[in-house]
A = this chain, B = another copy of it.
């Protein structure tokens, strides 16, 4: 636990959570989720396993750390939509607000992360419940806008679907395509389906 840097920068190297996130992604990508132990992640991050669990509830959560923030951001964008916006317009605003999170820098991380998640059942479970939680939050947000319950649920579900599909497409797209464009394209596809 003693490196030159640590002694120079205060008691501990700052941003343990960030180091743990990076270490986890690197190891998951390299050896797979099952082939990686929490102790190894902690080692690479220069902390102990106990500290890992102080920052993340479990071994899966380290890959979903940003999701509460993303969700909060979407809910805020939903609430910030004009009062006279239709439910779907408000949801669209929320989905488009995710663009601020997924710039070109995050794309590479997102790709590796997605690869690990899709190849690990345990992580797919976690992702599903995150999406379900997001759906619930958006539904609640719509209800607060005075949207009827049935409509709110459907709009939220649709919005999350659009986000999921767009995210996948964005990951697969060339490096210079911004996610906002992909979302717009997905919305256009949706419009074509319902028409």
Q: A residues within 8 Å of B by Cβ?
A: 121, 124-126, 128-129, 132, 150, 154, 193
Contacts and interface: CB of A to CB of B under 8 A. Distances in A.
Nearest to A131: B128
A193 B125 contact: no
Q: How many copies of this kind of chain does the complex include?
A: 2
A108 to B, nearest CB: 27
Contacts of A121: 129
Majority DSSP secondary structure for residues of A touching B: helix
Contacts of A150: 193
Nearest to A122: B125
A193 B154 contact: yes
Contacts of A126: 125
Nearest to A193: B150
Given A125-B126, A125-B128, A128-B132, 9 more contacts: A121-B129, A124-B129, A124-B132, A125-B125, A125-B129, A128-B128, A128-B129, A150-B193, A154-B193
Nearest to A124: B129
Contacts of A129: 121, 124-125, 128
